[in-house]
Structure 1
Amino acid sequence: MSLYNNVLVVLDPTSDHQKALDRALELARRQGCKLTAFLSVYEFSYEMTTMLSGDERESMKQAVIKDRELWINDFLQAPREQGLQLDIKVVWHNRPFEAVVKAVLEEHYDLVIKGTHDHDVLKSMIFTPTDWHILRKCPCPVLLVKEHDWPEQGNIIAAVNAGSEQEHHLSLNQRVIHKAQQMAKLLNAKVHLVNAYPGTPVNIAIEIPEFNPQEYNSTMQRHHKDAVLGLAKAHDINAEQCHVLEGMPEDVIPKLAKRLDAEMVIIGTIGRTGLSAAIIGNTAEHVIDRLDCDVLALKPANFVCPLEKS
Structure 2
Amino acid sequence: MSIYSNILVVADINHEEQPALARAMKLASKCTTKSNVTFFLSIYDFSYDMTSMLSLDERDAMRRGVIQQREEWMRRVAEPYINDDIVFEVKVVWHNRPYEAIVAEVFAGEHDIVIKGTRKHDVLESVLFTPTDWHLLRKCPSPVLLVKNSDWPEDANIMASVHVGSEYDTHLDLNDRMVEQLQSLSDRLSANPYLVNAYPVTPANITIELPEFDPNTYTDAVRGHHLTSMKALRQKHGIDEEQTIVEQGLPEDIIPDVAKRLNAAMVILGTTGRTGLSAVFIGNTAEHVIDKIDCDVLALKPNGFISPLEPNG
After TM superposition, the score normalised by the length of structure 2 is: 0.89
Match of 1:89 among 91, 94, 99: 91
**Aligned position for 2:30:** 30
User: For residue 222 of structure 2, what is the amino acid of its counterpart?
Assistant: M
CA distance in 1, matches of 2:83, 2:104: 30
Q: Does 1:50 align with 2:37?
A: no
Contact kept? 1:2, 1:33, Cα under 8 Å: no
**Aligned position for 1:105:** 107
SS at match of 1:50: coil
What is the Cα deviation at residue 15 of structure 1?
2.0
User: For residue 178 of structure 2, what is the amino acid of its counterpart?
Assistant: V
Q: Does 1:297 align with 2:299?
A: yes
What is the Cα deviation at residue 282 of structure 1?
4.9
SS at match of 2:272: coil
CA distance in 1, matches of 2:68, 2:62: 10
CA distance in 2, matches of 1:63, 1:83: 31
Structure 1 or 2: more helix by fraction: 1
CA distance in 1, matches of 2:145, 2:50: 37
**Aligned position for 2:213:** 211
Q: Could you report, residue by residue, the CA deviation over 1:124-176 in whole angstroms, capped at 9, with x for unpaired residues?
A: xxx98111110111111111111353344321111110000011101100000
1:147-166 alignment, distance < 5 Å: 147-166=149-168
Gaps of 5+ in 1: 120-126
**Aligned position for 1:20:** 20
Contact kept? 2:22, 2:81, Cα under 8 Å: no
**Aligned position for 1:122:** none
**Aligned position for 1:4:** 4
What is the Cα deviation at residue 96 of structure 1?
0.4
1:1-310 alignment, distance < 5 Å: 3-31=3-31, 33-80=35-82, 83-117=85-119, 129-271=131-273, 273=275, 282-308=284-310, 309-310=312-313
Q: Cα distance 1:206–1:128, how it changes in 2: closer, same or farther (>3 A)?
A: farther
Contact kept? 1:147, 1:292, Cα under 8 Å: no
User: For residue 25 of structure 1, what is the amino acid of its counterpart?
Assistant: M
CA distance in 2, matches of 1:58, 1:244: 57
Contact kept? 1:76, 1:86, Cα under 8 Å: no
Q: Choose 281-290 or 297-306, whichever is displaced more.
A: 281-290
After TM superposition, the score normalised by the length of structure 1 is: 0.89
User: For residue 71 of structure 2, what is the amino acid of its counterpart?
Assistant: E
Contact kept? 1:38, 1:89, Cα under 8 Å: yes
Identity %: 54
Q: Cα distance 1:274–1:284, how it changes in 2: closer, same or farther (>3 A)?
A: closer
What is the Cα deviation at residue 110 of structure 1?
0.7
What is the Cα deviation at residue 207 of structure 1?
2.4
Q: Could you report, residue by residue, the CA deviation over 1:275-295 in whole angstroms, capped at 9, with x for unpaired residues?
A: 989xx9954332222112211
User: For residue 215 of structure 2, what is the amino acid of its counterpart?
Assistant: P
Q: Could you report, residue by residue, the CA deviation over 1:70-118 in whole angstroms, capped at 9, with x for unpaired residues?
A: 1101112234475543100100000000000000011100111001136
**Aligned position for 1:123:** none
Gaps of 5+ in 2: 122-128
Q: Choose 32-41 or 99-108, whichever is displaced more.
A: 32-41
Contact kept? 2:268, 2:299, Cα under 8 Å: yes
Contact kept? 2:274, 2:308, Cα under 8 Å: no
User: For residue 42 of structure 1, what is the amino acid of its counterpart?
Assistant: Y
Contact kept? 1:112, 1:142, Cα under 8 Å: yes
SS at match of 1:304: coil
Q: Choose 65-74 or 263-272, whichever is displaced more.
A: 263-272
CA distance in 1, matches of 2:277, 2:72: 40
CA distance in 1, matches of 2:230, 2:11: 37
SS at match of 2:195: strand
CA distance in 2, matches of 1:282, 1:129: 18
Q: Cα distance 1:220–1:275, how it changes in 2: closer, same or farther (>3 A)?
A: closer
CA distance in 2, matches of 1:281, 1:54: 50
Q: Choose 161-170 or 184-193, whichever is displaced more.
A: 184-193
What is the Cα deviation at residue 209 of structure 1?
2.0
For the aligned residue pairs, the C-alpha RMSD in angstroms reads: 2.5
CA distance in 1, matches of 2:300, 2:152: 20
Q: Choose 167-176 or 256-265, whichever is displaced more.
A: 256-265
User: For residue 167 of structure 1, what is the amino acid of its counterpart?
Assistant: D
